[in-house]
Structure 1
Amino acid sequence: KKSEETELFSKYYTEWKGGSDSGNSYKTIPRFYYRLPAEDEVLLQKLREESRAVFLQRKSRELLDNEELQNLWFLLDKHQVPPLTGEEAMINYEAYLQVGEKAGSKCKKFFTARVYAKLLHSDPYGRISIMQFFNYVMRKVWLHQTRIGLSLYDVAGQGYLRESDLENYILELIPTLPQLDGLEKSFYSFYVCTAVRKFFFFLDPLRTGKIKIQDILACSFLDDLLELRDEELSKESQESNWFSAPSALRVYGQYLNLDKDHNGMLSKEELSRYGTATLTSVFLDRVFQECLTYEGEMVRSITLTLITSLHPLVQIWLQKQTCCFPKHQKSYLWLKYLSICLT
């Protein structure tokens, strides 16, 4: 009996003390941190790249293709429930579930009670618009496609794009945008720099050097950029689109007119002629104190950030952000925000 007591004492003492027996439970806790491979760990880097590529390919195959979207529209149209609301075809919850069963496994995530409730408005029969639901599906598919496309340029695989990553994305996107067909290839580098400045000015105000892919998808800038796929885009839409060829050429013309010595950088004197020469010497002194310069001249990327901040649409946005502040504080806040973006 004494030996049994000693054995039990030793067992419980070991467990309570944190001995080897109690340590077995930690084997079931999953690993939550994976160190990124170092630059000299070539094999680990290649393994990470290949695994990410396979993962993104699998996610891409899970998306609806054009044929499957057409089939979904056919099924929705076939199961519409009268009466019509104006000219809109409607569908009730019972028919909605029937379509979900017939549409296939890829569509299953769209046919939930939560999605139906989101799209349910004021129909007296408790129905939803077929067109609104189909547009919802199309938007979701587009967002996932775009996220996968952006993730291909995420070298670190952390859900962020660095400036060079975004530059590569936009550079390879240019040939797919009909509205930019007229641009010379020699102009591509300036166009890419102009486009990237807009993204980083708004989405990276603290100058971390990277932007969340989620933030890119959430803002309207990518929509504006991809709007240039429309071959019949109106002149008015092009004029108001920062990423259009006319807008980029206008900025390029401003830059060339300021750069009198054509060395690719702007001095304080050259920048003072911007617009209607309304930039005061005090303002310019402060800007040149904050931003990185080379022998007293501002490089192109920082100049484009400044031009972006002085754009009328950006000024309207900044005024909205500071509308609740007294007038004497607005100028200080704007300069503070600009100094953060330029450093």
Structure 2
Amino acid sequence: MDWKEVLRRRLATPHNAPNRKKSEQELKDEEMDLFTKYYSEWKGGRKNTNEFYKTIPRFYYRLPAEDEVLLQKLREESRAVFLQRKSRELLDNEELQNLWFLLDKHQTPPMIGEEAMINYENFLKVGEKAGPKCKQFFTAKVFAKLLHTDSYGRISIMQFFNYVMRKVWLHQTRIGLSLYDVAGQGYLRESDLENYILELIPTLPQLDGLEKSFYSFYVCTAVRKFFFFLDPLRTGKIKIQDILACSFLDDLLELRDEELSKESQETNWFSAPSALRVYGQYLNLDKDHNGMLSKEELSRYGTATMTNVFLDRVFQECLTYDGEMVV
């Protein structure tokens, strides 16, 4: 067939015209085909060049819902086992005594007054003999932290031992607080902290004189100080790290000292005299003895210097019942 005839027929066929506009559906289909083609090529290329992506561990685990009882029990049990394992990694009293004996045996003369010192060489020797639990404390970083102005390049044995004791105490307290962390998210709710302090009371000799009927008020008094300062946004929970970082827990556990002076008790918010003093002030303000304070009753606090504007703002912020507030 003559090429002229072929060209004439091609031009005469409208659907084969090269300048024909494609329909909207055809454009969408073509776009999808191109996208699928290029995406498959890109995905295949990444897969070939980044095989290590397959080894990334899972880092998010969904918390079990309230109706998933079995998963909740499993989570609680696994956390308890984890905390027990962490507790076994801490130094006990016998191991601490052995550490002190080794430090005293390897002290480096001369002494500064009555304070024994140790150089870095003997420091490492003690670390080798003290056992695997102590390994974390015998590092160059710890030695440098405690090194001050000694001309022989030594550190104080007492300062180092106190450092170890403090670290052990912090870990013990962290584990103890974590046992009350029901959610397992690193914070304590108000009810969690109340349970912790309530079970702590029998272990504090300075609170032996408190009657059991007074425990609820004492717990409320203690918990409110933690939440007032550590939960300024009123989220209803406090980070365990914040509890450990502040001095409130130190003040509370100071009541374990059976020989604590009266002066120290007077200045300690968590002591029995302090709690009884606050309780007495509350009773004196509560004229109608209904357990709550009205604006009029609260206005008599101290020297009655609180203004009406201040009282109005307090009652706007705090939860009230029929215009009265539980302090």
Normalised by the length of structure 1, the TM-score is 0.81
Deviation at 1:129, TM superposition (A): 0.6
- What corresponds to 1:45 in structure 2? 72
Q: How far apart are the structure 2 equivalents of 1:8 and 1:82?
A: 81
Deviation at 1:280, TM superposition (A): 1.8
Displacement after TM superposition at 1:20 (Å): 11
Is this contact kept in 2: 1:15–1:21, CA < 8 A?
Answer: no
Name the CA shift for 1:9/1:209 in 2 (closer, same or farther; >3 Å): closer
CA deviation string 1:262-296 (max 9, x = no partner): 11111111111111211122221222122221110
Distance change (3 Å), C-alpha of 1:37 and 1:278: same
Quote the residue 1:265 is aligned against.
292
Q: CA deviation at 1:158?
A: 0.6
When residues 20 and 124 of structure 1 are mapped into structure 2, their CA distance, relative to the original with a 3 A threshold, is closer
2:248 — aligned with what? 221
**CA pair 104-5 structure 1, distance change in 2 beyond 3 A:** farther
Q: Tell me, what secondary structure is at the counterpart of 1:19?
A: helix
Deviations 1:209-257 (A, max 9, x none): 1111011001100000000000110010000000000000000001111
- CA offsets 1:116-159 (integer angstroms, 9 cap, x no match): 00000111110111111000000000000000000000001111
Q: Does 1:88 align with 2:111?
A: no
Cα offset for 1:23?
A: 11
Quickly say closer, same or farther: Cα 1:273–1:109, change in 2 above 3 A: same
Compare CA radii of gyration and give the structure with the larger one.
Answer: 2
User: What's the TM-score, normalizing by structure 2?
Assistant: 0.85
* CA deviation vs aligned residue, 1:279-324 (integer Å, no higher than 9, x gap): 12222122212222111010xxxxxxxxxxxxxxxxxxxxxxxxxx
> What is the Cα deviation at residue 16 of structure 1?
2.1
1:9 shift after superposition: 16
Residues 40/3 of structure 1: CA separation in 2 closer, same or farther (3 Å cut): closer
The RMSD of aligned alpha carbons is 4.1
CA contact (8 A) 1:163 1:210 kept: yes
Q: Which runs of 5+ in 2 are unaligned?
A: 1-27
CA change 1:264–1:19 in 2 (3 A) is farther
1:154-183 CA distance string (max 9 Å, x none): 001111011110000000000000000000
Tell me the percent identity.
91
**What is the Cα deviation at residue 6 of structure 1?**
22
Q: How much does 1:7 deviate?
A: 20
Check if 1:166 corresponds to 2:193: yes
- Relative to 1, partners in 2 of residues 1:165 and 1:4: Cα closer, same or farther, differing over 3 Å? closer
- Give the corresponding residue for 2:42: 16
**Contact persistence 1:14–1:21 (CA under 8 A):** no
Identify which of structures 1 and 2 has the higher relative contact order when contacts are C-alpha pairs closer than 8 Å and 6+ apart.
1
2:129 to 99, 102, 105: 102
- 4+ long deviations beyond 6 Å: 2-13
Alignment check: 8 A CA contact 1:15 1:22 kept: no
